[in-house]
């Protein structure tokens, strides 16, 4: 039977190269998954004293980890450098204090310090019976630190240090949490069997216990740099040799007459996206306010202009909501973007799309409200036992939400793919499987698939194993597959706006996917240098993540130009005729932030030799804000504004308000980065090298630099203000929906028609539609 599908608009070499890249990348990642299960830092089943007395069990460690996570302590401080940045890194803090206390127990002075160092470095874990032996000095240090953590953080009499009073009221829970922290400190100093370094590749840097950068870390950092420089040279040479293959040359720009947005008919499902964008704007405003509150904790230690904020909204809860809402804003924006674009791509939509879209919206609202309330109930101790990780908070940073809500969210994403498939089906039927509509569907499928990997993290999973899978979500899902989906959405929008031909758009998408995946898949491991996995993860992670920068350099530079093409379309359309001035400007901003936030700031902290001192400092927050807000938020808002142009009645559209949002969000973010996060991160990195990592991560560090924290406030205020006009306009879009409504029969879209310049043309007629 002859194939009635159209032909591919690009060579078949492109999808074949992409498939090969994925197969090789995931084969290596599969090997690393096996190794992490085999060689992660062990959890002893029994911890005993030299007299044989049982001190703690493996269940204490696992339960302690669960309590640590479900009380939101990973969103307050960190372990292994992973978590939040206000509280201490508990691994480094415990290790430093333990070494000091042991030296004190032995009488103090250089000899006592040397003895403590040696005793800590000796690995007294016996894998044959799962028993770890601790000596008297270590037991006494544990007892003192248990009291210290209880009084300073876990069960304070008065709120402070970013936490409320009696944050963890149960004494047994406090003990288990300390057992878990003490275990992480043990893995950070005890030598890995047969090796001269600890389970964490000698992290954290700590002179008292002789933890220094390993030779492997230096070697792989150097090799990574050589690869990076050589690779960029080779890429630039290839670019110079094959400019026609890699660029967007020679196509004639088209002179387009855009259909006035008020005359473009909207399908029922497109109308429903108004509610999605309203939710996006509402969540954005809440997320920004919470971000302001978390930043304020660095300046005022829990106070908020006289209000005891830590009692009402402790830092860990504010940060959890801030971070979860950031993911919800981007996810909901992308879901809505897909739903809005599908009818434009396929030319119509089947019956039943709107009810399905509204069901999905309901599920989304349920997940957002339910998970945020659940997290509060877990942190405040309202939920108990197994209900805490199920309905409340699992507590892994980025995967904070309770398991029930996590499963529901995966289900919602699957429903979204089904809706998208229904919407695209008319177009898919006659389309080559390698062209843009199919690429949109494939990338949409990857979104629930890679988010679902997070289900492998349970609150009692061995830390290194859970962290391995967690970064599949943080890195592969967010940085690779959301990036791919967003690239395809931008390509679709640009094709819809006549900026590029479909052939160019498809080529850009393949090139992007291949180049990102070459380094990006295995490069996931650059998050995983010091979490207790084997050294091979650090070696391959460093190498591939440096290699990731090579295409990233090329792609961000190309994308920057690519996004400027949109701005040229505006100029070519003539003043006042191009309806998407602000959507395109948001995309120009994406190009800039992608280069700076993801490229420059990301590479600054990528090498093991840098990450060793830097992990968990404000330089990480700097990269996170400049890339998450700079790239993903701006991209989400580009889609929101693109759709809003059609969802709003013409008289409700306001260039002035959208312009205010654009400038406030971008300049506020720039202020936040250049006045606070970047310089403070550099100071913290310097402090880590000079005074030790534990010191750079102490609350005292922030107290010493309060002035620079206060400087951030104007930028935050401007950024928060930037979200308000979007909330106002999206509210109008749902309360005063625009007509006409597409009722089948004609094409949904197109958004423009081509005209020959200089020839007089009749006014643009609306496509077939009924109002």
Partner 1 sequence: MNFQQGAFGLPTDFREWILLGYILTVVAGAWVLGQLGRAHFRRAQEYAEAGFEYDAELDYYRCPEGERLSLHIIEPGGRVAVYRAAASSCDGCSRKDSCTPHDGGRHLYRPLATWAESDSGRFHQWVAVVMNGGATAVGAVAAIWWAGKPGTGLVLIASMLAAASFVTGLCARAEQFEKKK
Q: What does the binding site for partner 1 look like in residue numbers (CB under 8 A)? A: 247-250, 252-253, 255, 557, 560-561, 564-565, 567-568, 570-572, 574-575, 581, 584-585, 588-589, 591-592, 595, 663, 666-667, 670-671, 673-675, 678-679, 682-683, 686-687, 690, 707-708, 711, 756-759
At its nearest, how many Å lie between partner 1 and the CB of residue 658?
A: 12
DSSP reduced 3-state for 49: strand
437's enclosing H/E stretch is helix 436-452
At its nearest, how many Å lie between partner 1 and the CB of residue 530?
A: 24
Question: Is there a contact between 594 and 630 (Cβ–Cβ < 8 Å)?
Answer: yes
Q: Show the 3-state SS of 714-752.
A: HHHHHHHHHHHHHHHHHHHHHHCCCCCECCCCCCCCCCE
Helices 171-189 and 90-105 meet at what angle, rounded to 10? 80
The one-character DSSP state at 203 is P
Minimum CB distance to partner 1 smaller for 343 or for 599: 599
Give CA separation, 764 vs 260, 615, 747, in Å. 8, 56, 16
Minimum CB distance to partner 1 smaller for 209 or for 673: 673
CA proximity to 447, closest of 407, 489, 476, 408: 476
Buried (b) or exposed (e) across 381-403, using 16+ Cβ within 10 A? Answer: bebeeebbbbbbbbbbbbbbbbb
Question: Is there a contact between 91 and 204 (Cβ–Cβ < 8 Å)?
Answer: yes
Minimum CB distance to partner 1 smaller for 267 or for 570: 570
Question: Is there a contact between 433 and 19 (Cβ–Cβ < 8 Å)?
Answer: no
At its nearest, how many Å lie between partner 1 and the CB of residue 249?
A: 4
Minimum CB distance to partner 1 smaller for 41 or for 708: 708
Distance CA 295, CA 600 (A): 23
At its nearest, how many Å lie between partner 1 and the CB of residue 442?
A: 28
Neighbours of 432 (CB within 10 A): 19
At its nearest, how many Å lie between partner 1 and the CB of residue 169?
A: 40
At its nearest, how many Å lie between partner 1 and the CB of residue 568?
A: 5
At its nearest, how many Å lie between partner 1 and the CB of residue 537?
A: 31
Cβ neighbors of 523 (< 8 A, separation 6 or more) are: 475, 541, 544, 545, 547, 548
At its nearest, how many Å lie between partner 1 and the CB of residue 248?
A: 5
Neighbours of 139 (CB within 10 A): 17
At its nearest, how many Å lie between partner 1 and the CB of residue 342?
A: 27
Minimum CB distance to partner 1 smaller for 17 or for 557: 557
Minimum CB distance to partner 1 smaller for 137 or for 638: 638
Give CA separation, 295 vs 90, 574, 696, 704, 761, in Å. 21, 43, 17, 15, 55
- What is the chain's alpha carbon radius of gyration, rounded to the nearest angstrom? 27
191 phi, psi to nearest 5 deg: -70, 135
At its nearest, how many Å lie between partner 1 and the CB of residue 549?
A: 17
CA proximity to 538, closest of 233, 192, 235, 230: 192
Minimum CB distance to partner 1 smaller for 561 or for 743: 561
Report strand pairing: 307-308 vs 393-396.
unpaired
Distance CA 25, CA 110 (A): 49
Minimum CB distance to partner 1 smaller for 373 or for 557: 557
């Amino acid at each position: 039977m002859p194939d009635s599908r159209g032909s591919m608009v690009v060579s078949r070499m492109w999808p074949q190269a992409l498939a090969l890249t994925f197969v090789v990348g995931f084969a290596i990642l599969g090997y690393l998954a096996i190794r992490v299960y085999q060689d992660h830092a062990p959890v002893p089943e029994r911890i005993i004293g030299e007299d044989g007395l049982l001190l703690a069990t493996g269940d204490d460690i696992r339960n302690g980890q669960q309590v640590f996570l479900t009380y939101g302590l990973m969103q307050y401080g960190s372990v292994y450098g992973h978590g939040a940045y206000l509280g201490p890194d508990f691994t480094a803090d415990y290790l430093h204090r333990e070494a000091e206390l042991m030296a004190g127990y032995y009488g103090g002075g250089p000899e006592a310090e040397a003895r403590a160092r040696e005793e800590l470095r000796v690995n007294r874990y016996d894998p044959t019976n799962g028993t770890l032996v601790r000596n008297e000095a270590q037991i006494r240090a544990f007892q003192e630190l248990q009291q210290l953590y209880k009084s300073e953080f876990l069960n304070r009499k008065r709120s402070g240090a970013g936490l409320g009073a009696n944050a963890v009221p149960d004494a047994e829970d406090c003990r288990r949490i300390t057992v878990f922290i003490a275990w992480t400190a043990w893995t950070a100093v005890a030598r890995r069997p047969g090796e001269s370094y600890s389970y964490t590749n000698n992290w954290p840097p700590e002179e008292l216990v002789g933890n220094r950068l390993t030779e492997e870390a230096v070697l792989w950092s150097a090799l990574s740099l050589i690869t990076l420089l050589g690779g960029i040279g080779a890429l630039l040479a290839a670019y110079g040799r094959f400019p026609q293959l890699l660029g967007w040359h020679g196509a004639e720009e088209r002179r387009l007459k855009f259909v006035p947005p008020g005359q473009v008919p909207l399908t029922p499902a497109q109308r429903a996206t108004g509610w999605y964008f309203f939710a996006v704007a509402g969540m954005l405003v809440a997320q920004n306010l919470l971000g302001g509150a978390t930043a304020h904790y660095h300046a005022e230690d829990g106070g908020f202009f006289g209000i005891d904020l830590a009692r009402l909204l402790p830092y860990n809860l504010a940060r959890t909501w801030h971070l979860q809402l950031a993911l919800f804003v981007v996810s909901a924006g992308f879901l809505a973007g897909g739903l809005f674009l599908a009818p434009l791509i396929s030319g119509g939509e089947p019956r039943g799309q709107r009810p399905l879209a509204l069901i999905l919206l309901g599920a989304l609202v349920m997940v957002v409200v339910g998970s945020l309330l659940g997290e509060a109930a877990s942190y405040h101790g309202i939920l108990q036992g197994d209900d805490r990780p199920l309905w409340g908070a699992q507590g892994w940073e980025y995967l904070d939400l309770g398991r029930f809500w996590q499963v529901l969210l995966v289900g919602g994403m699957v429903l979204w793919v089904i809706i998208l498939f229904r919407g695209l089906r008319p177009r898919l039927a006659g389309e080559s499987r390698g062209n843009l509509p199919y690429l949109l569907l494939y990338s949409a499928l990857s979104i629930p698939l890679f988010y679902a990997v997070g289900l492998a993290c349970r609150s009692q999973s061995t830390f290194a194993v859970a962290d391995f899978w967690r970064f599949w979500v943080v890195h592969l899902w967010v940085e690779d597959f959301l990036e791919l989906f967003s690239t395809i959405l931008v390509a679709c929008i640009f094709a819809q706006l006549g900026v590029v031909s479909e052939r160019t758009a498809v080529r850009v998408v393949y090139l992007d996917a291949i180049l990102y995946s070459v380094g990006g898949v295995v490069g996931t491991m650059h998050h995983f240098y010091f979490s207790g996995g084997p050294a091979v993860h650090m070696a391959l992670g460093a190498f591939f993540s440096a290699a990731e920068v090579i295409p990233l350099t090329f792609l961000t530079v190309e994308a920057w130009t690519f996004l400027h093409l949109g701005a040229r379309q505006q100029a070519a359309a003539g003043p006042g005729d191009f309806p998407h001035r602000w959507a395109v400007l948001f995309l120009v901003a994406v190009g800039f932030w992608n280069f700076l936030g993801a490229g420059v700031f990301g590479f600054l902290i990528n090498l093991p030799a840098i990450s060793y001192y830097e992990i968990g400092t404000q330089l990480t927050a700097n990269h996170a804000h400049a890339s998450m807000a700079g790239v993903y938020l701006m991209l989400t808002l580009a889609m929101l504004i693109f759709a809003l142009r059609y969802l709003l009645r013409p008289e409700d559209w306001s260039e002035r308000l959208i312009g205010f949002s654009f400038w406030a969000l971008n300049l506020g973010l720039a202020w936040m980065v250049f006045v606070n996060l970047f310089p403070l991160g550099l100071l913290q990195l310097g402090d880590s090298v000079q005074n030790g990592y534990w010191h750079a991560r102490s609350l005292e560090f922030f107290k010493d630099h309060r002035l620079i924290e206060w400087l951030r406030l104007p930028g935050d205020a401007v950024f928060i203000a930037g979200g308000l006009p979007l909330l106002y306009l999206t509210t109008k879009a749902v309360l005063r929906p625009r007509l006409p409504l597409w009722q089948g029969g004609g094409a949904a879209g197109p958004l423009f028609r081509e005209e020959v310049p200089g020839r007089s043309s009749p006014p643009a007629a609306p496509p077939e539609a009924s109002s």
